[in-house]
Amino acid sequence: MQSDSNQDSCVFCVRGVTKIYDMGEVQVQALRGIDLELYEHEFVVMLGASGSGKSTLLNILGGLDVPTAGSVHYHRNELTTASDTDRTRYRRDHVGFVFQFYNLIPSLTARENVELITEIAKSPMDAMDALEMVRMKDRANHFPAQLSGGEQQRVAIARAIAKNPAVLLCDEPTGALDVQTGILVLEAISRINRELGTTTAVITHNAVISQMADRVISLSDGMIAGITDNPDRIQASQLRW
Ligand SMILES: Nc1ncnc2c1ncn2[C@@H]1O[C@H](COP(=O)(O)OP(=O)(O)OP(=O)(O)O)[C@@H](O)[C@H]1O
Per-residue pLDDT of the chain (241 residues; tens, 9 = 90+): 344 455 568 999 999 999 999 988 999 999 999 999 999 999 999 999 999 999 999 999 999 999 999 999 999 999 999 999 999 999 999 999 999 999 999 999 999 999 998 888 888 999 999 999 999 999 999 999 999 999 999 999 999 999 999 999 999 999 888 888 899 999 999 999 999 999 999 999 999 999 999 999 999 999 999 999 998 889 998 888 7
Asked whether residue 180 is assigned to any structural domain, the reply reads: yes
The residues, any chain, with a CB within 8 Å of residue 49's CB and separated by 6 or more, are 205, 220
Q: How far is CA 163 from the centre of its chain?
A: 14
43-48 and 199-204 beta bridge pairing: parallel
- Whether 82 maps to a domain, the answer reads no
Kindly state whether residue 15 falls inside one of the protein's structural domains.
Answer: no
Question: Residue 7: its pLDDT value, please?
Answer: 58
Give domain status of residue 185, yes or no: yes
| Bridge pairing between strands 26-39 and 199-204 | unpaired
Phi-psi domain of 33 (left: phi exceeds 0; alpha: psi -120 through 50; beta: other): left
Angle, CA of 118, 10 and 231, to the nearest 5°: 100
DSSP string, 155-167: HHHHHHHTT--SE
Q: Which amino acid is it at 195?
A: E
Q: Does a structural domain hold residue 76? A: no
Positive or negative: CA dihedral 50, 54, 56, 58: negative
Query: Contact at 8 Å (CB) between 236 and 186?
Result: yes
Residue 51 Cα to ligand 1 middle (Å): 5
The verdict on residue 129 lying in a domain is yes
CA atoms 234, 238, 239, 241: torsion sign: negative
Residue 14 belongs to some domain of the structure: no
Q: Going by CA atoms, what residue is nearest to atom 26 of ligand 1? A: 50
Residue with the nearest Cα to atom 3 of ligand 1? 21
What spacing in Å lies between the alpha carbon of 80 and ligand 1's midpoint? 19
CA distances (Å), origin 98, targets 14, 16, 24, 157, 220: 21, 26, 31, 6, 23
Ligand 1: centre distance to CA 88 (Å): 22
Domain total of the chain: 1
Containing structural domain, residue 183? 40-69+88-238
User: Domain for residue 12, yes or no?
Assistant: no
56: domain CATH number is 3.40.50.300
Q: Residue with the nearest Cα to atom 5 of ligand 1?
A: 21
